[in-house]
Amino acid sequence: MEPHLSIDEVAQRTGLTAHTLRYYERIGLIAPVRRAGGGQRRYAAADLAWIEFLLRLRTTRMPVSKMRAFARLRAAGESTIPERRAMLEAHLAEVLADIDAMRGAAGVLREKIGFYRNAEEVAVEPACGASASASASGSAGLAADAGRVLAKNA
Distance CA 43, CA 75 (A): 17
What is the rounded average pLDDT for all residues in the chain?
Answer: 86
As a residue count, the chain comes to: 154
DSSP for 38-95, written as a single string: TS-B-B-HHHHHHHHHHHHHHHTT--HHHHHHHHHHHHH-GGGHHHHHHHHHHHHHHH
Half-sphere exposure of 106 (CA within 13 A, CB side): 6
pLDDT at residue number 76: 97
Q: What average pLDDT does the segment 4-9 reach? A: 94
Distance CA 97, CA 91 (A): 10
Q: What are phi and psi of 41, to 5 degrees?
A: -65, 140
Q: What is the CATH number of domain 1-76?
A: 1.10.1660.10
Q: What is the pTM of this model?
A: 0.71
pLDDT at 135 over 60: no
Domain borders along the chain are 1-76, 96-154
End-to-end CA gap in the chain: 55
138 neighbors 126 (Cβ within 8 angstroms): yes
Each residue of 37-87: pLDDT tens digit? 888 999 999 999 999 999 999 999 999 999 999 999 999 999 999 999 999
pLDDT at 100 over 50: yes
